[in-house]
Amino acid sequence: MVAALVLLAALAAGAPLLARRLGRATGYVLSAGFLAAAGLLVALAPRVLGGGAVEASTPWLPSLGVEAALRLDGLSLVFALVALVVGALVMAYCARYLSDASARGPVLPLLTVFAAAMVGLVLADDLVLLYLFWELTTLCSFALLSSAGAKAVAPARRALVITIAGGLALLVAVVLLALAGGTTRISVLLAEPEVVLGSPLAWPVAACVLLAAMSKSAQLPLQFWLPGAMVAMTPVSAYLHAATMVKAGIYLLVRASTLFAEQTPWQVALVAVGMATALVGAVMALREHDLKGILAHSTVSQLGLLVAAIGVGTPTALGAALLHTMAHALFKATLFMLVGIIDKETGSRDIRDLSGLRRAMPWTAAATALAALSMAGVPPALGFVSKEYLYQGFVSAPGPAWVAPAAAACAVTASALTFAYSMRIVWGAFGGPDHPELYEPARSFLAPAAVAAVAGLLLGPAVFLFDPLVDAATSAALPGSVPPRIYFWHGLSTEVVLSGVTVALGSALFWQRDRVDAVLVRLRLPDAGGVFDAGHSGLLALGGRIGAGTRARPLGAHLARPLAVVAVLGVVGAVALGGALPERTATAVPGEPVLLVVLAVALACAAVTSSAVVLVALVGLVGLVVAVRMVLVGAADVALTLLLVEVLTAVVLVLVLRGGGLHLPPVVRPAGRGALPAVLPAALLAVGAGTAAGLGTWSLTGRRELSPTGAYLLDNAEELTGGTNVVNTVLVDFRGLDTLLESVLVGVVALGLGVLTRGPGREVRERPDVVLRVASRVLAPLAVLASVVLLWRGHDQPGGGFIGALVAGAGVVLVHLAGTGGGEGAGGTGRAVRLERLTDPVLLAGAGALVAVGTGLVPLVWGGALMEPFSVPGLYALGISSALLFDLGVYALVVSLVAACVRGFGRVPSAVPAAAPAAAPGAEHAEVVR
């Protein structure tokens, strides 16, 4: 069983390779592979047919109790064999249908993946696994549909949306079943139906299962995707949309019958939906003239009959449904293959054009007629026997006395319509005038369809061969029941009479086909597909309207929304809090009011200035004040970091401003009239957001003791990490993963900046100032030295990777501003080139990320935890620990950002790319000395 699945997966993986070598002949290899997989399953049949089951499982998601469990019982065997045998026929057909070029495309691998998914679906003994395979078949169907090109876009989307919606319903059912039954193991759930049925979730589960099956098996009102799916190439239609995928819903319903078969609401829903689908599908089929369209609507109709039979729920009806599933797969796949042949040979699929095939293509015509007779339910074909049993199931339906006759009447009507459109196909093949220019297809092309057509004929009288299989499958679905015995002929019973009525009615419908057509043309059925499309585009339009606000052009409109939300949240929070706050414990420190005044003045000036230089100066001042405040609340490391960041920000701002834009647009438009209303919303929003933030700060901080986490860190940091700078130990030890990701982010920004500022541009250097140059020669090495000291002692004293890197960055900036780094005039010195290389942002970011991640991964070597601290032998004496190594990585990443700033903003972009002499990245080092 596992071997069969593995074989199919291997075939799927190998199909593209085979196709490259063998071309379309790959179809034969895959066909043989499918038969081999079927053989592997048949080898297990003796155990399964005795009523047993073959199981295999391996733990998958142990925390959820989910196992990758497979189970082969009679029911699984029926559906798996249908998928594999029909698959083998279709693959052999593909070997002649496809061209060598299209065989190398995605169709063959996708069909094989689909076969594997289908077999997996029916073998799965775990709900999660079942769901997974279910969705895989949906996706395969979508991919195969989409491969048909532009005309398939809309139908493929319809099919996908409908079947995915059904898949979601199945997912809900899976979750609810797991909740109700306490396990996801299907065999366990089904072994004790009363557990699920006794739960209040039983009916939601049934509804979701039904919905999933209705979408997959194209039941009213979701049936419209299936006829649309006929744009796919014929082998795909034959395999997925006639024989197998649409049977997945049937499989699900038969499985669920173990739980729900005797529940009246389930029976009513299934019979009603199924019968309605059967009738509507058959009428639609009779209306069609396109051969594929007829077959598609016919599939809908036949699936409806199957659903109705499953709804009846007696062993007889269920057994009949299983037998008809096999019969239908056989004759419908055959018909599709033949339609594909006819289409290719004649260039037409219109049934009115096909008259006289019997003389030009006798064998094709004969095979078509055989398959169509099987579909019509004419003896002795297999379709006749399975239809007899369906009738038997409906006639013996349980419930009030009127149910059985009504069900039988519906089934007879649907079958009579089926007979009528089947006859049209036969007539198309045999009747009418000649088409002498046509000729018979190659034997190898016809062979798969012909074999299937003959099998459909011979298996009718030999139907007893199916008896053990149907017996085992029915017992698997309805444990303890007595399945029907399957014979070809069982006397002159009600069913035979009904068959006679069917044939009589059908013949009459066929005979009067012109009048029937006239009635049908006038018949207007509700267009579910149109409703779906309208709903779909309505939904998209709604999304567009909701998103319209975010497409506003002004920047302010985007930014105002989140800020407005902040203000509103503040008000709502203040109201909700209602003044019930603990006592404030905050203390004040002398000097704070002075800082406050400085800050207020600086901010007020910043708010109204139109000079970029003033703004930059003021923002530096504000940063300074904030840093002092941070010192006052005991955050030494943070204040140090902020100070350095402020210095670097100022440098970068100045570098950017060299590119122009020293004059900002006025804060308030000069035009006096209407100026105030224009700024009013922004002013209100600013005051609102500020008030909300201030109130939040006042009411939510400074009202509690030291947090438990903080107390724990203060008490244990030194013991656990060996570091005495608690903030730094939090960064590199306790929250190391956080810091790692944050510093990698910094590195990413450095790389992004490199890309942003690449473009054409020219290097601008100020005239080297002698004092600055001399100072930089001394100070830059000192800065680097200081940064190393800060890095080294960071674990114990203020410092660390971030701070050290910013100090080193200051050195890099100094060298750049002094113009001593990139060389002067021609070429530059070797030292300068070395420096240039050393501060390459890409190199620094890469090395930093490697060191930081590497240090985090090392403990895994001896089975430790990710980022666990360790001591480095030999280096420990120097005070070098794993924390320091990690910090070194952070250091390099942050330096890379500063270096990227200097490189990127040191150049002024030119507006016209063509004007730049060399736009290549290598031109970055070229400089223009002013």
Partner 1 sequence: MTTAVVVALLVATGTWLVLRRGLLRVVVGFVLLGHGVNLLVLTAGGTDRRGFALPGQQGQGPVADPLPQAFVLTAVVIAFAVTVHLLGLLRQGQALDEDDDAEGPA
The contact pattern for partner 1, residues 294-333, with x = CB under 8 A and - = no contact, is ----------------------------------------
Determine the interface stretch with partner 1 among 225-233, 425-433, 446-454, 588-596 (rule: CB under 8 A). Answer: 588-596
Query: Which residues are CB-contacts of 715 (< 8 A; sequence separation ≥ 6)?
Result: none
Q: Are strands 54-61 and 907-909 parallel, antiparallel or unpaired?
A: unpaired
Contact 311, 270 (CB under 8 A): yes
Q: CA 250 to CA 244: how far, in whole Å?
A: 10
Residue 742 engages partner 1 in binding (rule: CB under 8 A): yes
Taking the complex as a whole, how short is the minimal distance between the CB of residue 911 and partner 1, in angstroms? Answer: 4
Residue found by looking up tokens 């297990």 in the block? 44
- Residue 922 carries which side chain, given as an amino acid letter? G
350 binds partner 1 (CB under 8 A): no
739 belongs to the binding site for partner 1 (CB under 8 A): yes
Residue choice 480, 547, 579, 665 for contact with partner 1 (CB under 8 A): 665
User: β-strand 907-909 against 761-765: which pairing, if any?
Assistant: antiparallel
Nearest to 87 by CA among 37, 19, 124, 134: 37
Q: Phi, psi (5° rounding) for residue 387?
A: -70, -35
CB of 687 to partner 1, least distance (A): 6
CB of 930 to partner 1, least distance (A): 18
CB of 265 to partner 1, least distance (A): 56
Residue 324's identity, in one-letter code, is H
CB of 756 to partner 1, least distance (A): 4
Which of 347, 480, 578, 661 touches partner 1 by CB under 8 A?
Answer: 661
Choosing from 796, 836, 840, 868, the residue that interacts with partner 1 (CB under 8 A) is 796
> How far apart, in whole angstroms, are the C-alpha atoms of residue 805 and residue 887?
10
CB of 697 to partner 1, least distance (A): 4
Q: How far apart, in whole angstroms, are the C-alpha atoms of residue 810 and residue 782?
A: 11
Nearer to partner 1, 294 or 726 (CB): 726
Helix (H, G, I), strand (E, B), or coil: what is residue 702?
coil
Q: How far is 289 from 352, CA to CA, in rounded Å?
A: 7
Helix (H) or strand (E) holding 908: strand 907-909
Shortest reach from residue 127's CB to partner 1, in Å: 43
- Residue 697 in the binding site for partner 1 (CB under 8 A): yes
Among 132, 360, 749, 919, binds partner 1 (CB under 8 A): 749
Hunting for tokens 């001591």 — which residue is that?
871
765 is a contact residue toward partner 1 (CB under 8 A)? no
Q: Is 461 exposed, middle or buried (0-12, 13-18, 19+ CB in 10 A)?
A: middle
* 348 versus 701: smaller Cβ distance to partner 1: 701
Kindly state the smallest distance separating residue 898's Cβ from partner 1, in Å: 9
Q: Could you tell me which stretch among 7-15, 164-172, 348-356, 614-622 binds partner 1 (CB under 8 A)?
A: 614-622
Q: Enter the tokens of residue 666.
A: 């006025």
CB of 690: closest distance to partner 1 in angstroms? 3
Identify which of residues 520 and 656 has a Cβ nearer to partner 1 in the complex. Answer: 656
Q: Pairing between strand 927-929 and 907-909?
A: unpaired
Site for partner 1 in 592-611 (CB under 8 A): 592-593, 595-596, 599-600, 603-604, 606-607
Q: For partner 1, give the closer residue by CB, 101 or 559.
A: 559
Where in 553-572 is the site for partner 1 (CB under 8 A)?
A: 553-556, 559-560, 563
Query: Is residue 583 part of the contact set for partner 1 (CB under 8 A)?
Result: no
Question: CB of 846: closest distance to partner 1 in angstroms?
Answer: 17
For residue 576, the number of C-alpha atoms closer than 13 Å in the C-beta half-sphere is 8
Q: How far is the CB of 772 from partner 1 (least distance, A)?
A: 23
Distance separating alpha carbons of residues 21 and 5, to the nearest angstrom: 24
Pick from 717, 791, 847, 883 the residue near partner 1 by CB under 8 A. Answer: 717
Restricted to residues 97-136, the positions that interact with partner 1 (CB under 8 A) are none
Q: Could you say whether residue 798 binds partner 1 (CB under 8 A)?
A: yes
Buried b (16+ CB within 10 A) or exposed e, 298-315: bbbbbbbbbbbbbbbbbb
Taking CB under 8 A as the rule, does residue 685 contact partner 1?
yes
Q: CA–CA separation, 558 vs 266, rounded Å?
A: 52
Give yes or no for residue 696 binding partner 1 (CB under 8 A): yes
User: Is residue 725 near partner 1 by the rule CB under 8 A?
Assistant: yes
- What one-letter code names the amino acid at 450? A
d(CA 117, CA 444): 28
Told to check if 713 binds partner 1 by CB under 8 A, we report yes
Binding part of the chain for partner 1, among 47-55, 176-184, 248-256, 550-558 by CB under 8 A, reads 550-558
Q: Which of 518, 577, 687, 857 binds partner 1 (CB under 8 A)?
A: 687
Question: Least distance (Å) from partner 1 to the CB of residue 614?
Answer: 11
Q: Segment 429-488, which members bind partner 1 (CB under 8 A)?
A: none
Quote the CA–CA distance of 208 and 543 in Å, as a whole number.
27
d(CA 141, CA 120): 16
Kindly state the helix (H) or strand (E) to which residue 71 belongs, with its residue range.
strand 66-72
Residue 319 CA neighbour count, 13 Å, CB half? 26
Name residues contacting partner 1, limited to 864-923 (CB under 8 A).
894, 897, 900-901, 904-905, 909-911
* CA 161/CA 643 separation, integer angstroms: 56
Minimum distance, C-beta of residue 554 to partner 1, in the bound complex (Å): 5
As beta bridge partners, residue 663 has: 611
* Residue 649 binding partner 1, by CB under 8 A: yes
Among the listed residues 284, 539, 250, 245, the one whose alpha carbon sits nearest the alpha carbon of residue 414: 284
Rule CB under 8 A: is residue 619 a binding residue for partner 1?
yes
Q: Out of 56, 454, 695, 786, which residue is the one contacting partner 1 (CB under 8 A)?
A: 695
H or E stretch covering 909: strand 907-909
Q: Write down how long the chain is.
A: 930
Instruction: Compute the distance between CA of residue 680 and CA of residue 70 in angstroms, rounded to an integer.
Output: 68
Placement of tokens 């018979």 in the chain:
440
| From 501-509, 701-709, 823-831, 865-873, span contacting partner 1 (CB under 8 A) | 701-709
Give the interface segment with partner 1, choosing from 25-33, 90-98, 523-531, 633-641 (CB under 8 A).
Answer: 633-641
CB 704 within 8 A of CB 693: no
Is 763 a binder of partner 1 (CB under 8 A)? no
CA distance 764 to 566: 42
Q: Pick the piece of the chain touching partner 1 (CB under 8 A) from 41-49, 253-261, 295-303, 737-745.
A: 737-745
- The DSSP string of 481-535 is --PPP--S---S-HHHHHHHHHHHHHHHHHHTHHHHHHHHHH-----HHHHHHHH
Q: Which is nearer to partner 1, 395 or 746 (CB)?
A: 746
Task: Please give the C-alpha separations between residue 329 and each of 90, 339, 388, 718, in angstroms, as whole numbers.
Answer: 12, 15, 17, 73
Residue (217 or 743) nearer to partner 1, CB: 743
Is residue 549 at the binding interface for partner 1, with CB under 8 A as the rule? no
Size of the site for partner 1 (CB under 8 A): 116
Nearer to partner 1, 265 or 659 (CB): 659
Does residue number 833 form part of the binding site for partner 1 (CB under 8 A)?
no
Tokens of 802: 């971030």
Beta carbon nearer to partner 1, 123 or 638: 638
Exactly one of 75, 152, 256, 630 binds partner 1 (CB under 8 A); that residue is 630
Minimum CB distance to partner 1, residue 615 (Å):
6
For residues 375 and 731, which CB has a smaller minimum distance to partner 1 in the complex? 731
Q: Which of 690, 854, 864, 917 binds partner 1 (CB under 8 A)?
A: 690
Let me know: does 324 contact 306? Beta carbons within 8 Å: yes
